[in-house]
Amino acid sequence: MADDVGFANLPNTLETGPFEFTIMAVGEAGLGKSSFLNTLFECDLYGPRAYPSPPSLQAEEEGRGTVSRMTVQLQEDGVDLALTVVDTPGFAAAINNTGCWDPIVEDIDVAFDRYMDEESRVSRSRVSDTRVHCCVYFISPTGHGLRALDKAVMAALQHKVNLIPVIAKADLLTTDELVRFKARVMSDISEAGIATYTFAAGGGGAGGGEGDVDTSESAGPQLDPPYAVSSSSVDCAASGAEQKHRVRQYPWGTMDVHNPDHCEFVPLRQLLIGIHMQDLIESTHANHYERFRREKLEEMALKGAASQDNTVAATPMAQFEAQKEYYEQALAKKQEEMSAVFEAKVGEKNKQMQDMESKLLTQHEALERKLKAQQRALTQKRQAFQEEVAMQKEAMAQLTTKKSKRLFK
Ligand SMILES: Nc1nc2c(ncn2[C@@H]2O[C@H](COP(=O)(O)OP(=O)(O)OP(=O)(O)O)[C@@H](O)[C@H]2O)c(=O)[nH]1
Ligand SMILES: [Mg+2]
């Protein structure tokens, strides 16, 4: 294809493999989410006809789309990446879209929950990471700024995931319209107090700020959010060019997805996959996962306290006490688990020693029996020898008596 995807430098930034990355695409049905994911990783994640199907009629009536997860193994320059794409086919396609983002929030929380569960086990080999590391939010190229639904969805996701707003189907806007639309969307985002992910200098990102893309060289290409993207599933080799490009062909001309003059797809991919993938993973852990973990522990502590004395701890001091108690209980549980593991190991060693002891005892008894048998055989031999000596002596005495009798005659 036209370019490398850009994750081949992961071993330079992340200390250990295997590398896992999860990217989510959220936005109104038909805005090009699946096309974008396909174009982003230069592969047909869904195949030509296997795009996640639209939500069931019932789900649509309820105003909820589906959330589909798919993991594929990618390889680039010998580096393996387990890529999970979370797509939201048919999102917000109903008439009443209230709460249509709930399944998305639930998907993010389930992955956090699973990670927390695996992380808290005493005997854990490697914690597999299925947490959503970034969410590309597709904004419809209406030219009129953010809609209420966009604000609601982004507000619901902002503290759960690294939110990256993009203008979908940017090829539908003229250059001037795009500039105005970008400014309008950013001012709407800032007015609504929505925190989006910022591509900061040197790959060290910052979740939570708005605007401010660092312009230094180490920050990679200079881009202002929301990023204008276009995607396509059509490959075409430009005349004379060796590599194929993804293009959109119109009666009046061709839009090249890989041409930075046509859209911001390539520089965005460079920032997202090539430079900031490590930071997206770290920021997910340090900001969003930690927030989830803290809230979950507080909730558990409150539940514990409430179930103990039937009152919900309402004051900060009571909350602190409940939390302290929870941590103490968790510590005691961990100590119990560790001493169980210790006892099991000691038991195993004891058994090994007992086996060894009984083996040595058996060997000793066999040796003793052998020695006794040899002793008995020797005694018998000595007895036989002594009897023979006595018989010889008697024979000698009889001979001597006979001789002396003959001499006296
Ligand atoms: N003009 C234009 N059309 C696009 C672009 N990307 C995708 N499309 C077209 O938009 C239509 C929908 O694209 P999909 O990728 O299926 O959109 P989606 O958001 O995954 O849709 P759902 O899965 O139904 O929610 C297809 O006909 C695409 O060819 C783009 O950048 N510009
Ligand atoms: Mg789709």
Reduced to 3 states (helix: H, G, I; strand: E, B; else coil), residue 317 is helix
pLDDT value at 205 more than 60: no
180's tokens: 């105005």
CA separation, residue 170 to residues 229, 247, 257, 316 (Å): 5, 13, 10, 49
**pLDDT tens digits for range 345-372:** 899 899 999 999 999 999 999 999 999 9
Provide the b/e sequence for 255-282 (b: ≥16 CB within 10 Å).
bbbbbeebbbbbbbbbbbbbbbbbbbbb
What confidence category does residue 157 fall into, taking pLDDT thresholds of 50, 70 and 90? Answer: very high
Task: Indicate the helix (H) or strand (E) that contains 87.
Answer: strand 79-87
Task: Report the pLDDT averaged over residues 34-43.
Answer: 87
Burial class from Cβ neighbours inside 10 Å (0-12, 13-18, 19+) for residue 405 reads exposed
Rounded Cα distance between 165 and 348, Å, is 57
Task: Report the pLDDT averaged over residues 232-256.
Answer: 77
Task: Report the pLDDT averaged over residues 180-208.
Answer: 83
Give the distance (Å) from ligand 2 centre to CA of residue 285: 28
Rounded Cα distance between 288 and 205, Å, is 14
Percentage of the chain exceeding pLDDT 70: 80
To the nearest whole number, what is the mean pLDDT of the chain?
83
Res 386: pLDDT: 94
Tell which wins on pLDDT, 332 or 308. 332
Task: Report the pLDDT averaged over residues 304-327.
Answer: 67
**Atom 14 (ligand 1) nearest CA:** 32
**Atom 31 (ligand 1) nearest CA:** 230
pLDDT value at 170 more than 70: yes
Query: Which is the closest atom of ligand 1 to the Cα of 52?
Result: 23
CB 66 within 8 A of CB 94: no
Give the distance (Å) from ligand 2 centre to CA of residue 317: 48
pLDDT value at 154 more than 90: yes
**Atom 3 (ligand 1) nearest CA:** 169
Tell which wins on pLDDT, 43 or 365. 365
Res 13: pLDDT: 56
What confidence category does residue 95 fall into, taking pLDDT thresholds of 50, 70 and 90? Answer: confident
**Atom 21 (ligand 1) nearest CA:** 30
Backbone angles phi, psi at 235, to 5 degrees: -95, 140
Query: Which is the closest atom of ligand 1 to the Cα of 29?
Result: 25
Give the distance (Å) from ligand 1 centre to CA of residue 244: 20
CB 322 within 8 A of CB 308: no
In DSSP terms, 206 is beta-bridged to 198
- Please name each of the domains of the chain with its CATH number: 7-297 (3.40.50.300)
Give the distance (Å) from ligand 2 centre to CA of residue 29: 7
Give the distance (Å) from ligand 1 centre to CA of residue 213: 28
| Residue located via tokens 């396609």 | 93
* Residue to substitute in 31, 230, 250 for testing ligand 1 pocket (most ligand atoms within 8 angstroms of CB): 31
